Amino acid sequence: MRIATFNINGVKARINALTDWLDEAKPDVALLQEIKSVDEGFPRELFEDRGYTVETHGQKGFNGVAILSRLPLEDVRRGLPGDDSDEQARWIEATVIGDSEAVRVCGLYLPNGNPVPGPKYDYKLAWMARMHIHAEMLLASEMPVVMAGDYNIIPQDEDAARPEAWREDALARPESRAAFRRLLNLGFTEAFRACNQAPGMYSFWDYQAGAWNRNDGIRIDHHLLSAEAADLLQDCWIEKEVRGREKPSDHVPVWIELAA
DNA sequence: ATGCCTTCAACGTGAAGA
């Protein structure tokens, strides 16, 4: 089972880039973030025509997440529990029925949190606290669990080309990193670092100031795997080449392959 | 650097991103 997470930065703006990528990369499951579309406006036929089941959790203008799957999906949940007043569409999960295993797959778009300090940073940390509680619930299911998406977290200095530029940023602040570590300490494995220890590996390059041409990137798109899922992990890689294509997103796909 | 670029909503220009 191959799962890719991809922050597409707007589904309408990315239709050509996204369908070209799907046709050639053929993920079994694609977790999309920042669809920036309501459910009714999501071009689901484009994906259904390619054999994908489509589940969305959208909102008007920004945010929004989706799951595309060539494998059967069951028990879809929309929204991160823990705050009924939260109207931001940043979480979707479903059970993917693989050939040999059923995997609980969560697609997430963690809040950016800038500027620091301020209400957006408070929201980010509160959202991570809610995610922590929900992650404990997921672990209790004893199913293989994958939580993947745009975490908006630079885990370590080696995950940024210019770590000093991010030191006071919500993506790298100590409180953000500590909340991410607390998730890992529940027993999750960060798939990319389980497979690859090389520095200079990024998943996002800003549109501004020639960041891509200078390889001035950060690694903020991650897959966190429960022990049951980590036992199935065969590989994890970043599809960097996608960033150099026509009209690209500012993020690229990050993949895992599971023996499921 | 309150900058740089891109998207969305809406049709001019501000919010949001990271």
C-alpha dihedral, A11 to A12 to A18 to A22, nearest 10°? 80
The answer to whether residue A55 scores a pLDDT higher than 90 is: yes
Mean pLDDT, chain A, whole residue set: 97
- The structure tokens listed for A185 are 């300490």
Give the confidence band of A5 by pLDDT, cuts at 50, 70, 90: very high
Q: Is nucleic acid strand B under 7 Å from A208's C-beta?
A: yes
Question: Could you tell me the pTM of the whole model?
Answer: 0.97
The 3 state secondary structure assigned to chain A is CEEEEEECCCCCCCHHHHHHHHHHHCCCEEEEECCCCCHHHCCHHHHHCCCCEEEEECCCCCCCEEEEECCCEEEEEECCCCCCCCCCCCEEEEEEECCCCEEEEEEEECCCCCCCCCHHHHHHHHHHHHHHHHHHHHHHCCCCEEEEEECCCCCCHHHECCHHHHCCCCCCCHHHHHHHHHHHHCCCEEHHHHHCCCCCCCCEECCHHHCCCCCCEECCEEEEECHHHHCCEEEEEECHHHHHCCCCCCECCEEEEECC
Q: In angstroms, rounded to a whole number, what is the distance separating the alpha carbons of residues A62 and A132? A: 24
Q: Measure, in angstroms, how far nucleotide B12 C1' is from residue A119 CA.
A: 28
The answer to whether residue A192 scores a pLDDT higher than 90 is: yes
Q: Is nucleic acid strand B under 7 Å from A9's C-beta?
A: yes
Q: Is nucleic acid strand B under 7 Å from A240's C-beta?
A: no
Strand partners, A91: A108
Consult the annotation and say whether A134 binds a ligand. no
Taking residues A188-207, report their average pLDDT.
97
Chain A residues 141 to 170 whose Cβ lies within 7 Å of strand B are: 150, 152
The answer to whether residue A35 scores a pLDDT higher than 90 is: yes
Task: Give the β-pairing of A102-109 and A145-150.
Answer: parallel
Give the confidence band of A142 by pLDDT, cuts at 50, 70, 90: confident
Taking residues A1-9, report their average pLDDT.
97
Task: Tell me the per-residue pLDDT of A203-255, one tens digit each, with 9 for 90 and over.
Answer: 999 999 999 999 999 999 999 999 999 999 999 999 999 999 999 999 999 99
Q: Is nucleic acid strand B under 7 Å from A221's C-beta?
A: no
Nucleotide B7's nearest residue (CA vs C1') is A10
Q: Measure, in angstroms, how far nucleotide B18 C1' is from residue A121 CA.
A: 13
Q: Catalytic residue positions of A?
A: 109, 150, 251
In chain A, pLDDT over 70 holds for what percent of residues?
A: 100
Q: Measure, in angstroms, how far nucleotide B3 C1' is from residue A230 CA.
A: 44
Nucleotide B16's nearest residue (CA vs C1') is A62
Consult the annotation and say whether A142 binds a ligand. no
User: What is the model's pLDDT at position A124?
Assistant: 96
Consult the annotation and say whether A87 binds a ligand. no
User: Please, which positions of strand B sit below 7 A from a protein CB?
Assistant: 3-9, 16-18
Consult the annotation and say whether A150 binds a ligand. yes
Taking residues A85-103, report their average pLDDT.
97
Closest CA to A228 of A132, A103, A136: A103
